[in-house]
Chains A and B, each alone.
Chain A
Amino acid sequence: MMEGGQAVEIQALRKRFGAVVALDGVSLTVRPGEFMALLGPSGSGKTTILMAVAGFERADSGHILIGGRAIDRLPPHRRDIGMVFQRYALFPHMSVAENLAYPLRRRGVASSELARRVEETLSLVKLEGYGGRGIDQLSGGQQQRVAIARALIFRPAVLLMDEPMSALDKKLREHMQMELRLLHRELGATIILVTHDQEEALSMADRVALLHEGRMRQVGTPAELYRNPADAFVAGFIGRNNFLPIADGAPPRVQGFAGPLGAALAEGSAPPVGGHLLAIRPEHLALRAPDAEGEPCRIVEVAFGGARQSVLAEVAGHRVTIEAPATERLWRPGEAASLGFHPRTARIFPPSDQH
């Protein structure tokens, strides 16, 4: 149905709203047919990027290219980009079928062809027979599917979505995430999905672009972002992480720790000098019996989670979270233990702008 997606190139986009710098020179290349997630905390500029691509917000400087062609001067109605709005923006005065027909009518599609394509697209999103319904007669999940269908029916090469799942409950959200992935594989369109839900981004997208305060912090596959975060912000934002300060002096050690770090550090880490931060994920920490090798610590709190347990422990005045299997032993608050980790699984970052 779709002639495959086109590349979207965002080049050095800048945008200010009064004193607020919403985009501070953002660049991003989305490959043809790629599923890209734009991830970032609230106010990081995700929606602004989408609005600029769709043509609703003119950037102060920078360029946007689709399929290699600059679209900066094109008004929104001539960009041919599909968009799913956060609250769907379905026309309440039209039926489902009228909503789907709207973009086709604007393109002068003949009425016989029009009816056929409406039917076809409705079945694509599994809403056969719903054409005559009013928008207010649909559930949230159905409304979302109508919104997706309306954005796809005119076969755009690029599909933009602004937090399309945020209005759905958890179960429906997971279901729709799966359907959206299937749809993407079927259609091959380029998709840019905005979300501030990292699980959604990591599980759905081919690549994830992480924004913070109007700047692109890292672009990569979900595994890259998780395993090789580019800086302390990414390390803290993607998944969970414990940050421990490194003490001054040699050999390098975590402040208050008895044992030194040793030489075997993760690749690409900054040098372990005083003031830098050591980041280690909860699943890379191990709790052992108090007499075993490691830093002595005390259990503060335990949350049981079936196969795993989340343990909050205090070690040398720092609090760390440990994700331990619940198969061997269950820890209890107040117990003494020994904390072990392999420096190769930890990364070291300069302390700047962690959050």
Chain B
Amino acid sequence: MGGMTGRDRQRAALLLPALLLLALGFLAPLATVAWTSLRRAGHFSLAAYAEILASPVFLDILLRTLWMAVLVTALCAALGYPFAYCVATRARRHAGLIMALVTVPYLTSILIRSYAWVAILGGGGLVNRTLIALGLIEDPLQLVFNSFGSYVGMVHILLPMMVLPLYAAMRRIDGALLLAGRGLGGGPMPVFVTVFLPLSLPGLAAGSALVFLSALGFYIAPALLGAPGDYMLAQAIEVRVATLAEFDVAAGLSCILLVLVGGFLMLFRRRIVSLADDPASTPARVVGVAGLRPACAASAIGAVPGLRAALNAMGDAVAPLAGPLLHLHGAALLVFMLAPMLVVVLIACSSAPYLTFPPPGYSWRWFMALLDDANWLEAAWFSLTVSTAAAVAALAIGTPFAFGLARGRFGGRRLLWLLAVSPMILPHIVIGLGLFFTFVALGLNGHPVSFWLAYTVIGLPYVVIILLSALGRFDVDLERAAANLGAAPMTAFRTVTLPLLAASFVTAFLFAFLSGFDDLIIGLFLSSPRGTTLAIRMWEDIRLEISPKTAVVGVVQLGVLLVAMTLPMLRTMLPRRRVRTEA
């Protein structure tokens, strides 16, 4: 960074708070995990790793983790691709609404969604009751607490991560290109294969990478919906800590998981970076690739004489069915994604004293029960304050970071971006373990400050990603105009940048808040009598008695979310500020 000007140095200084936070709340804990994995009885030792590698179940768990991640990725791709295709090409008019509906489950707690699946797939659940009522089966099928339940839960949770980048990539495909393909004599099928498919591949790659990496570190869905013995790596780590108190082995497993995810992350980083409006990537490269690929594919098709004819014939055969099938698939998938939300609402209003679906009647009793339960209220208050404080901090620290990264012209920006975003991608179980070790060493574990710091760290990536993409679209000339017209930097920020990016700031805050509020895994490590979050209360409740209280929390959260999503729409209807020009 030798040739930095004064202004660039100032911009680099904007990164400092975030770097400090990441060093303290992310890198140091990860280092502590590595350190712990290498020590036994106060000495350096590889005993933990020896134990792990010697254990016959370890290989099972590792292979199962990889296999499940691959399968879930494939399922998400197979289900998500036609869905995104249908929304992007055939339902463009309602695309905004549909994508908003896809985001809703993405924004509600994983815990609540998994809980809803128990109600839907359980022995007395919706699916089994329907099948029995239809006379198709006599005894309930085992749909949950086995690997099937695990897959359903994981696919449901990760599907939006596949659909969103896919849809974004497909929307960018120029309709004129497809028409040109038709004009050059391609039927619908060859045009899809030679033009559309190659152009949508970056979205598929980005979605697959995100889903795969997240699936590797999954904990809640497999723990709640899977078979008791069907461990994935994250569960194995949790058991070592919570049940066996074998910290060095847990740390060793964490390091293995970290290396696995980190390795794949480095492998996929191009795909992921290109997805998130990376400040360092050049549009020219994207255009170049976009222009090249279809051309290559087209020439490849032309080179195989029979292929074109075969594709055409296939297209002709499938064409009349394709439209209805796509719409059917889209509708079914939307139902799949939204059903748990609906079920949560119905359960919350149930009059039954225990979890049953469909409810025998409706009442507010569970809302009342929640309001009467001091434990739950205390936990809710704790979650609310800690997550709000963390979201404020993440915004305060992430905003200068995003500005520095978007406006600065120094090297290493891609790496800094990846660092700030990695708390979102790396498994939270590992981050939680590291924070646990760190806070115990500092005597802070369970203190609200420990939650605050942890949730600031995991909220930061959302702030950085959302603000960077907003800044990428923001016209810098507007800030220059403000300065040129006499506004000092802070005034320009307050009067121009802030109001224009308000929606993005609100979104960033919301995501940062939810990342803390919905967290379970890190909370499980940090919780103590001094601090218990709402998610932990729900977790204990689901594991022990399964009352509809969790559903009530889900409904409240859903309600708040819907209000937050509709607020920006209301804001645009307000009249704008005016100067009274009549003297």
A-to-B contact residues, CB < 8 Å? 18, 54-56, 58, 75-83, 85-87, 89-95, 97-98, 100-103, 106-107, 112, 114-116, 118-119, 131-132, 134, 150-151, 154
The distance in angstroms between the C-alpha atoms of A101 and B500, with both chains bound, is 18
**Known A-B contacts A91-B496, A119-B583; A77 and B484 likewise in contact (beta carbons under 8 Å):** yes
Is A118 touching B581 in the complex (CB atoms < 8 A)?
Answer: yes
**Known A-B contacts A92-B500, A95-B576; A77 and B483 likewise in contact (beta carbons under 8 Å):** yes
Q: What 0/1 pattern do residues 471 to 488 of B give for CB contact below 8 A with A?
A: 000010110111111111
**Known A-B contacts A89-B481, A91-B481, A93-B499; A98 and B486 likewise in contact (beta carbons under 8 Å):** no
Chain A residue at minimum C-beta to C-beta distance from B500: A93
From A54, A92, A112, B583 is in contact (CB under 8 Å) with A112
The distance in angstroms between the C-alpha atoms of A222 and B485, with both chains bound, is 32
Chain B residue at minimum C-beta to C-beta distance from A153: B485
The winner among A89, A97, A102, A132 for most chain B CB atoms within 10 A is A89
The winner among A55, A79, A85, A112 for most chain B CB atoms within 10 A is A85
Is A97 touching B578 in the complex (CB atoms < 8 A)?
Answer: yes
**Known A-B contacts A87-B477, A116-B583; A77 and B488 likewise in contact (beta carbons under 8 Å):** yes
Chain A residue at minimum C-beta to C-beta distance from B485: A103
Chain B residues with Cβ under 8 A from A76's Cβ? 480, 483-484
Write the nearest CB–CB distance from A59 to chain B, whole angstroms.
11
The distance in angstroms between the C-alpha atoms of A131 and B478, with both chains bound, is 20
Is A85 touching B579 in the complex (CB atoms < 8 A)?
Answer: no
Contacts A101-B579, A115-B581 known; list 18 others, CB within 8 Å. A18-B3, A54-B484, A56-B480, A77-B489, A81-B484, A83-B481, A89-B480, A91-B496, A91-B500, A95-B577, A97-B581, A98-B577, A102-B495, A103-B485, A115-B579, A132-B581, A150-B485, A151-B484
The distance in angstroms between the C-alpha atoms of A90 and B483, with both chains bound, is 13
Chain B residues with Cβ under 8 A from A97's Cβ? 578-579, 581
Is A115 touching B478 in the complex (CB atoms < 8 A)?
Answer: no
Q: Enumerate 22 A-B pairs (CB-CB under 8 Å) in ascending A order.
A: A18-B3, A54-B480, A55-B483, A56-B480, A58-B5, A58-B6, A75-B483, A77-B482, A77-B483, A77-B486, A78-B486, A79-B484, A85-B477, A85-B480, A87-B477, A90-B481, A91-B482, A92-B500, A93-B576, A94-B577, A98-B576, A107-B486
Chain A residue at minimum C-beta to C-beta distance from B3: A18
Is B583 touching A77 in the complex (CB atoms < 8 A)?
Answer: no
Is A103 touching B486 in the complex (CB atoms < 8 A)?
Answer: yes
**Known A-B contacts A95-B577, A97-B579, A115-B580; A102 and B500 likewise in contact (beta carbons under 8 Å):** no
The winner among B480, B482, B485, B491 for most chain A CB atoms within 10 A is B485
Is B583 touching A114 in the complex (CB atoms < 8 A)?
Answer: no
Kindly state whether residue B492 has any CB partner on chain A within 8 Å.
yes
The distance in angstroms between the C-alpha atoms of A99 and B577, with both chains bound, is 11
Kindly state whether residue B93 has any CB partner on chain A within 8 Å.
no
The distance in angstroms between the C-alpha atoms of A107 and B491, with both chains bound, is 12
Kindly state whether residue B7 has any CB partner on chain A within 8 Å.
yes
**Known A-B contacts A76-B484, A102-B482, A106-B487; A118 and B579 likewise in contact (beta carbons under 8 Å):** yes
**Known A-B contacts A95-B578, A115-B580, A119-B581; A87 and B475 likewise in contact (beta carbons under 8 Å):** yes
Within 8 A of A (CB), among B345-380: none
The distance in angstroms between the C-alpha atoms of A114 and B583, with both chains bound, is 10
The distance in angstroms between the C-alpha atoms of A225 and B226, with both chains bound, is 82
Chain A residues with Cβ under 8 A from B487's Cβ? 77, 102, 106
Chain A residues with Cβ under 8 A from B489's Cβ? 77
Is B484 touching A83 in the complex (CB atoms < 8 A)?
Answer: yes
Write the nearest CB–CB distance from A83 to chain B, whole angstroms.
5
Chain B residues with Cβ under 8 A from A87's Cβ? 475, 477
The distance in angstroms between the C-alpha atoms of A112 and B577, with both chains bound, is 17
Is B486 touching A131 in the complex (CB atoms < 8 A)?
Answer: no
Chain B residue at minimum C-beta to C-beta distance from A58: B5
Chain B residue at minimum C-beta to C-beta distance from A108: B486
The distance in angstroms between the C-alpha atoms of A4 and B482, with both chains bound, is 24
The distance in angstroms between the C-alpha atoms of A112 and B487, with both chains bound, is 21
Chain A residues with Cβ under 8 A from B485's Cβ? 77, 102-103, 106, 150, 154
The distance in angstroms between the C-alpha atoms of A119 and B478, with both chains bound, is 23
Chain B residues with Cβ under 8 A from A134's Cβ? 576
Chain B residues with Cβ under 8 A from A90's Cβ? 481
Is B576 touching A94 in the complex (CB atoms < 8 A)?
Answer: yes
Is B481 touching A132 in the complex (CB atoms < 8 A)?
Answer: no
Chain A residues with Cβ under 8 A from B477's Cβ? 85-87, 89
Is B578 touching A132 in the complex (CB atoms < 8 A)?
Answer: yes
Is B578 touching A98 in the complex (CB atoms < 8 A)?
Answer: yes
Chain A residues with Cβ under 8 A from B478's Cβ? 89, 91
Q: What 0/1 pattern do residues 2 to 33 of B give for CB contact below 8 A with A?
A: 01011100000000000000000000000000
The distance in angstroms between the C-alpha atoms of A132 and B487, with both chains bound, is 23
Chain A residues with Cβ under 8 A from B581's Cβ? 97, 115, 118-119, 131-132
The distance in angstroms between the C-alpha atoms of A118 and B484, with both chains bound, is 18
Q: What 0/1 pattern do residues 558 to 581 of B give for CB contact below 8 A with A?
A: 000000000000000000111111
Chain A residues with Cβ under 8 A from B491's Cβ? 77, 106
The distance in angstroms between the C-alpha atoms of A90 and B496, with both chains bound, is 10
The distance in angstroms between the C-alpha atoms of A119 and B486, with both chains bound, is 20
